[in-house]
Structure 1
Amino acid sequence: SWDAQILNCSEDASLRSQGWFQRLDPRFHQFVLYRHCRYFPMLLNHPEKCAGGEVHLLMVVKSVIEQHDRREAVRKTWGKERAVEGRKITTLFLLGSPASGKDAKNLQKLIEYEDRLYGDILQWDFMDTFFNLTLKEVNFLKWFDLYCPGVRFVFKGDDDVFVNTNNLLDLIDFRVEARREADTMVGDTILKAIPIRNRQSKYYIPRELYDKPYPPYVGGGGFLMSSQLARRLFVASEDVELYPIDDVFLGMCLEKLRLAPETHPGFRTFGITKHKVSPMNSEPCFFKQLILVHKLGAEELLRMWSVVHREDLVCAKKTSIH
């Protein structure tokens, strides 16, 4: 069972006297002082989600408490639990706890009520902040390793993406038939990226924290991986220092395994086109041939899902998504 029962992790005070720490941008102090704290108690847990026979595809969605409408939209569309030709699809949302001061008690009550309705939320006792996204990554990998022996593939994504589940299943079939299942990590791969040094950027990383180019990594809007790789990533992750950007952290774990993610044109984690008004951004046939598009609001997602799945939608060509 989940063994991180109590929250008893204190800061590593020895860092405060080190020169590099004193030069470090204060925004990163908290992250670095508590970086050794990895596994947290669970507030909501559903070990039964992986029990009882094989799950072909586990859809794992990163979300935050306030984004209730996005979770609802995902449950009604690509995250809807069902069996497709006998293959079981199961969905889970990953959450932290509400940041203190944000009416935390009421928010917690709301999320517990939502979980009583749907039974699909995993929640850990760390605050849901940008820097803590990596905690979601490592706590999920540990959870998966512990509870999910019968899962075959994992899709991991954000709550503001459109996923064409049928195309995702086609991609899985292709990997299995081609005997390329074991090391599967497929998405919108980013190569030769370097840390952003602009202090105004959400992704700013000071040189004191990391001073090399990034390993290849998959854009965090969403990616597909095999369960074998998820287990190997868990083992590798235990020896990789936590990093503030979760996608890059996974790339570091892959590098440790001497693997690189594969890129796939069906994953568009930066949207479809740069121009917001492009017809491509609302063209159902375009969505029909992709696997993932980032990013859509809850209403856009519901609308595009219903249009893409209309019986009378005729598209000129069926493109291969392998």
Structure 2
Amino acid sequence: MRRGQQIWVVLGGIIVLSLFTSLTSRLTQQPGIWTSDRYLRPLDSNITTLTDGTFTFRLDRSAYDAAFPHLQRYTCREEIAPEGLCQGPAGAPLLLLAVKSHPASGGRRAALRRTWARPREMGGFRLRPVFLMATASDHRHARLVQLESDTFGDVLMWDFVESHHNLSLKERCFLQWLHRHCPQAAYVFKGDDDLFVNLKALTVYLSQTPNASCFIHGNIQNHSTVMRRGKYAVPQTLYSMGHYPNFASGGGFIMPGASVAALYAASLRLPVFPLDDVYLGFLTLAAGLPHQHDSRFRVWGIPEDKLQVYRGSLTVHGVSMERMEQVWQAL
């Protein structure tokens, strides 16, 4: 090749590389590249915005680092992790029943294991419970949890401390665990340990809902107003907007297994919000996942404590251990 031709080849390569770099730069900053119309868009190294078409939500990571540094910096470390919990015979799809619990709530867990939170097959699904916990300051509770784990093999515990705001760490770390250790789950139900779950109605709901694997299911809160006082208060310096994105109430909801990878990927990019159900709402928005609302997810209890109401519900929140067992036996 002549010298003049070599120069043109080199120049041509430089031009192509320059065009490719320019195009890549534009694509990574255009809305919609990561999650279609939900989109997470970086404004600078600390600020991320999300939009749902009605509101635009601005998340400043530096504010979260200042107000809740432990939520942002914690690396998920499991103290107790069941082996092979999601393994099982081929056939019926796995519905994982994940229950948020506190080490001190051994009585509640015992009541759930006697009722709806035990391994079985029902409604065409293979059901498997797992209790999600953080560490206890009381050594007696820690010993009890270890005994439960040895006996039932259904405890998943991380080494952060149980607290209200740390529930968001349970959300983040559970997504990581699901992504790494339970990819075979068809659906994941998640709720509190004072929740009654009508498993028959729940499995029928999943079987009969069109395209059920495309949605996050639950009692969906639409653009809830941000509280500035009380247990669920969020300071304006952390979150200046007046509304939250839509989210499934944390009392009880379902996410399809197919959504876990996108939710986990979002958790690696977004700051950890100090309210766990709102945090999942941000992850859901970033992942571009739609919601499916059903009022039978009774996250605030029921108007009348009658058997027919439980029969017609998917979940009922705030049920005592004694009533849990009465209703289960009656149904």
Secondary structure at the aligned position of 1:259 is classed as coil
Secondary structure at the aligned position of 1:96 is classed as strand
Among residues 51, 55, 73, which one is paired with 1:37 in the alignment? 73
Q: What value does the CA root-mean-square deviation take over the aligned residues?
A: 2.0
- Whole-Å separation in 1 of the counterparts to 2:100 and 2:218: 16
CA contact (8 A) 1:51 1:147 kept: no
Q: Given the alignment of the two structures, is residue 299 of structure 1 paired with residue 322 of structure 2, yes or no?
A: yes
Letter of the aligned partner of 2:128 in structure 1?
T
Q: Please name the residue that 2:179 is paired with.
A: 145
- Whole-Å separation in 2 of the counterparts to 1:74 and 1:262: 26
Among residues 121, 139, 161, which one is paired with 1:127 in the alignment? 161
Q: Please name the residue that 2:103 is paired with.
A: 65
Among residues 206, 222, 228, which one is paired with 1:191 in the alignment? 222
- Whole-Å separation in 1 of the counterparts to 2:66 and 2:310: 41
Q: Given the alignment of the two structures, is residue 108 of structure 1 paired with residue 122 of structure 2, yes or no?
A: no
The structure number with the bigger radius of gyration is 2
TM-score by structure 1 length? 0.78
Distance change in 2, residues 1:37/1:263 (3 Å): same
CA contact (8 A) 2:94 2:187 kept: yes
CA contact (8 A) 2:71 2:169 kept: no
- Whole-Å separation in 1 of the counterparts to 2:66 and 2:82: 30
Q: Given the alignment of the two structures, is residue 209 of structure 1 paired with residue 238 of structure 2, yes or no?
A: yes
Q: Given the alignment of the two structures, is residue 272 of structure 1 paired with residue 302 of structure 2, yes or no?
A: yes
Among residues 79, 85, 110, which one is paired with 1:49 in the alignment? 85
CA contact (8 A) 1:93 1:120 kept: yes
Q: Please name the residue that 2:279 is paired with.
A: 249
CA contact (8 A) 1:183 1:226 kept: yes
Q: Given the alignment of the two structures, is residue 224 of structure 1 paired with residue 254 of structure 2, yes or no?
A: yes
Letter of the aligned partner of 2:259 in structure 1?
L
Q: Which runs of 4+ in 1 moved over 6 A?
A: none
- Whole-Å separation in 1 of the counterparts to 2:288 and 2:69: 29
Structure 1: any 5+ residue segments left out of the alignment?
A: 1-23, 274-279, 310-322
Deviations 1:103-155 (CA, angstroms, capped at 9, x unpaired):
x3232112111211111100100001111000001111000011112211110
- The structure with more strand, counted as a fraction of residues: 2
Distance change in 2, residues 1:85/1:286 (3 Å): closer
CA contact (8 A) 1:39 1:135 kept: no
Q: Please name the residue that 1:181 is paired with.
A: 212
CA contact (8 A) 1:39 1:138 kept: no
Q: CA deviation at 1:38?
A: 3.7
Q: Please name the residue that 1:171 is paired with.
A: 205
Q: CA deviation at 1:261?
A: 1.9
Structure 2: any 5+ residue segments left out of the alignment?
A: 1-62
Secondary structure at the aligned position of 1:219 is classed as strand
Among residues 268, 273, 278, which one is paired with 1:238 in the alignment? 268
Q: Please name the residue that 2:57 is paired with.
A: none
Q: Please name the residue that 1:285 is paired with.
A: 308
- Whole-Å separation in 1 of the counterparts to 2:327 and 2:279: 32
Secondary structure at the aligned position of 1:254 is classed as helix
